Structure 1
Amino acid sequence: MITLVPLLLSHQPAIDSLLDERFGPARRNRTAYRLRDRAEVLSAYSSVAFDGDQLVGSLQCWPIRLKSVGGARMPMILLGPVAVAAAREGQGIATALMRASLAALDAGDSPPVLLIGDAPFYGRFGFSAAATRHWELPGPVDHARLLLRGPATGLPRIAWVEAVPVERAGSVNPSRPAKVA
């Protein structure tokens, strides 16, 4: 039986092992990691899946921001990575993690949510690349995989997606803890 629990600092070694297994150690070279490098995971929106005492899935959320051409900065959330143990694929674990995270984000009246991923999977959760075509990241990105959830009303058409360093992480949503408990 799969149990979802909030992400804790003590889960991090098992999460890192799962991410290495699923994405390889070179995963840290990906553009999304430039956005996560100096940030702290938003535990209020992140969770892990266990089967007994074995971690079989994880989903993490991170504070980021969108910088307009005029210099205005808007808080956002970066969702991901979402990972499920290879032996457990196709069992609905990623879907359950997504639903739990999005429910927490919706309940917390979070800023817009962005991810880099496959539109066929994430589209069913309301993510689309329609508004992100002219957004730049701190590295290469396939804009068809740069997905935003929800309406783009009020978001700039041309913008830069930036990391939020640890010292500023709490500014994304002060009512939510920015550090892993």
Structure 2
Amino acid sequence: MIEVLPIAAVAPDAVEALLDRAFGTDRHGRTAYRIREGMAAIPALSLAAVEDGALIGTIQCWPIRFAGDDGGDVAMVQVGPVAVAPDRQQGGIGRMLTARALAAAEAAGLDDALTLIGDPEYYSRFFGFDATRTAAWRVPSPVERHRLLARGANVPTGAGLLGPRVAALV
């Protein structure tokens, strides 16, 4: 039976090892990592899936911000990475973790401006993310525009830059 725990209940080196297996050891150079650089994950929204004592999946969510070219500043949450052990992928673990993290974001009042970089068909179909408001956003390194997705009532639509949030959420 799969148990979902706060990610803090799992050894950090086990989380890093799973992320390496799921995304490769060069993952730290990816755009999503650059957007949240220097931030700590939001504990209440970061979860681990454990089965028979083995870590099989994780999701982490991060405090970031949108600095609008118009001077606006929007606190946002970056969802992901969602990592599932390679031998357990396609079994619904990632979808379960994402649903739990989004429910936790809603319960905490943090679901009004969410973003992620991912497969648009998957995240639109299951979770309502899309790229309709992200066309003018800038990020600190290359991104496939159709994969920069968002959802929530306060998602900005104008031009601006995604980056770390100076004051992290608890």
Q: Which deviations, in whole Å up to 9, do the C-alpha atoms of 1:17-71 show, x marking residues without a partner?
A: 0111111111111111112320001011110000111000000000000111122
C-alpha contact 1:131 1:152 (8 A) present in aligned 2: no
The residue aligned with 1:119 is: 120
The residue aligned with 1:54 is: 54
**3-state SS of paired residue (1:25):** coil
**3-state SS of paired residue (2:168):** helix
Deviates more, 1:40-49 or 1:67-76: 67-76
The residue aligned with 1:75 is: 75
Q: Which deviations, in whole Å up to 9, do the C-alpha atoms of 1:58-116 show, x marking residues without a partner?
A: 00000000111122211000000001001111211011101100100111111411000
The CA distance in 2 between the partners of 1:10 and 1:2, in whole Å, is 14
Q: Which deviations, in whole Å up to 9, do the C-alpha atoms of 1:124-167 show, x marking residues without a partner?
A: 201001110110011111110000013466x24211111124xx
The residue aligned with 2:31 is: 31
C-alpha contact 1:38 1:164 (8 A) present in aligned 2: no
How far did residue 120 of structure 1 move? 1.5
Matched residue type, 1:147: L
Cα distance change on mapping 1:147 and 1:32 into 2, 3 Å? same
The residue aligned with 1:129 is: 131
C-alpha contact 2:115 2:151 (8 A) present in aligned 1: yes
**3-state SS of paired residue (2:141):** coil
Matched residue type, 1:136: R
How far did residue 9 of structure 1 move? 6.5
The CA distance in 2 between the partners of 1:7 and 1:136, in whole Å, is 30
Structure 1, gaps ≥5 residues long: 171-176
TM-score, with structure 1 as normaliser:
0.88
How far did residue 11 of structure 1 move? 2.9
C-alpha contact 2:65 2:73 (8 A) present in aligned 1: yes
The residue aligned with 1:169 is: 168
TM-score, with structure 2 as normaliser:
0.93
Consecutive aligned runs of 4 or more in structure 1 exceeding 2 Å deviation:
150-153
Q: CA RMSD in A?
A: 1.5
